[in-house]
Structure 1
Amino acid sequence: MTVHHGWYLLAFRSELTDEITPLAVGPRRLIALREGDRVRVLDANCPHRGAHLGYGGRREGDCLVCPFHGKRIGLGDPSKHWSVAEHRVLEWGDALFVRLSDDPDGDRGFERSVQGWAEEYPLVAAVSLPVDVPSEYVVENAFDPDHFKAVHGVPGNRGMATRDGEHGELVIEGEFLMQTSPWQDARTLEEIRWEAVRTGRVRWDFKPRFHAQAFSPNVVVTEFGPAETRQVIVTGSVPTEDGGCVARVAIGVREDQRGALPALLGGSGKALAEDKVVWEHLDHTMTPRYDARDEPVLAFRRFCADFCADFPGGRDDR
Structure 2
Amino acid sequence: MNRMDPMDPTTRPGAAPPHHGWYLLAFDSELTEEITPLAIGGHRLIAVREDDRIRVLDADCPHRGAHLGHGARREGDCLVCPFHGKRIALGDRSRTWSVREHPVLRWGEAVFARLGDHPDGDRGFERAVKAWAQEFPLVKAVTLPVAVAPEYVVENAFDPDHFKAVHGVPGTRGMAARPGDAGELVIEGEFLMQTSPWQDARRLEEVRWEAVRTGKVRWDFKPRFHARAFSPAVVVTEFGPAHEMQVIVTGSVPTADGGCLARVAIGVRAAQRAALPALIAGSEKALGEDKVVWEHLNPYARPRYDARDAPVLAFRAFCADFAAAATAAAVEAVDAAEVTR
TM-score, scaled relative to structure 1: 0.96
Choose from 37, 40, 56 the match for 1:25. Answer: 40
Structure 1 position 201, deviation (Å): 1.1
SS in 1 for 2:195: coil
- DSSP 3-state at the match of 1:242: coil
> Which residue matches 2:100?
85
Aligned positions, number? 312
Residue 230 (structure 2) aligned to one of 201, 212, 215: 215
Structure 2 counterparts to residues 12-91 of structure 1, below 5 A? 12-91=27-106
Q: RMSD of the TM alignment (CA)?
A: 1.0
Greater relative contact order structure (CA < 8 Å, 6+ sep):
1
Amino acid at match of 2:112: F
Q: Name the counterpart of 1:5.
A: 20
Paired amino acid for 1:129: L
Structure 1 residue 203 displacement after superposition? 1.0
CA distance in 1, matches of 2:130, 2:155: 24
Q: Distance in 1 between matches of 2:232 and 2:117?
A: 16
Identity, % of aligned positions: 78
SS at match of 1:128: strand
Aligned-residue offset at 1:170: 0.3
**Separation in structure 2 between the aligned mates of residue 24 and residue 111 of structure 1, nearest angstrom:** 22
1:88 Cα deviation from its structure 2 partner: 0.2
TM-superposition CA deviations, 1:215-245 (whole Å, max 9, x none)? 0000000000111111100000000000000
Residue 315 (structure 1) aligns with:
none
Is residue 317 of structure 2 the alignment partner of residue 302 of structure 1?
yes
The DSSP-based 3-state class of the residue aligned with 1:304 is helix
Instruction: Report the Cα distance in structure 2 between the residues aligned to 1:273 and 1:289, rounded to whole angstroms.
Output: 26
What is the CA distance between 1:81 and its match in structure 2?
0.8
Matched, 1:175 2:173: no
Q: Which residue of 1 aligns with 2:168?
A: 153
Q: How far did residue 189 of structure 1 move?
A: 1.7
What is the rounded CA distance, in whole Å, between the counterparts of 1:238 and 1:155 in structure 2? 31
Q: What letter matches 2:203 in structure 1?
A: T
Unaligned runs of 5+ residues in structure 2 are: 3-15, 331-341
Deviations for 1:103-141, whole angstroms, at most 9, x for unmatched residues?
111100000000000000000000000000000000000
The whole-number CA distance in structure 1 between the counterparts of 2:57 and 2:200 is 45
SS of alignment partner, residue 189 of structure 1: helix
Structure 1: which 5+ runs fail to align?
313-318
TM-score, normalised to structure 2, is 0.90
Task: Determine the C-alpha separation between the residues in 2 that align with 1:260 and 1:32.
Answer: 32
| SS state at 1:294 partner | helix
Whichever residue aligns with residue 19 of structure 2, its letter is H
Alpha-carbon distance between aligned partners in 2 of 1:192 and 1:118, rounded to the nearest angstrom: 35
Encode CA deviations 1:183-207: one digit per residue, 9 max, x unaligned: 2233322221111111111111110
2:280 corresponding residue in structure 1: 265
For 1:134-149, list aligned pairs within 5 A: 134-149=149-164
Q: Match of 1:293, SS? A: helix
Distance 1:183 1:147 in 2: 22
**Which residue of 255, 258, 263 maps to 2:270?**
255
Residue type at the aligned position of 1:18 = E
Q: What is the CA-CA distance between 1:80 and the residue it aligns to?
A: 1.0
1:279 aligned to 2:263?
no
Q: Distance in 2 between matches of 1:138 and 1:182?
A: 24
Please report how far the alpha carbon of residue 306 of structure 1 lies from its aligned counterpart in structure 2 after TM superposition.
Answer: 1.2
In structure 2, C-alpha distance between the alignment counterparts of 1:250 and 1:45, rounded to whole Å: 29
Whole-angstrom CA distance in 1 between matches of 2:185 and 2:314:
8
Q: Distance in 1 between matches of 2:35 and 2:210?
A: 57
Aligned to 1:316: none
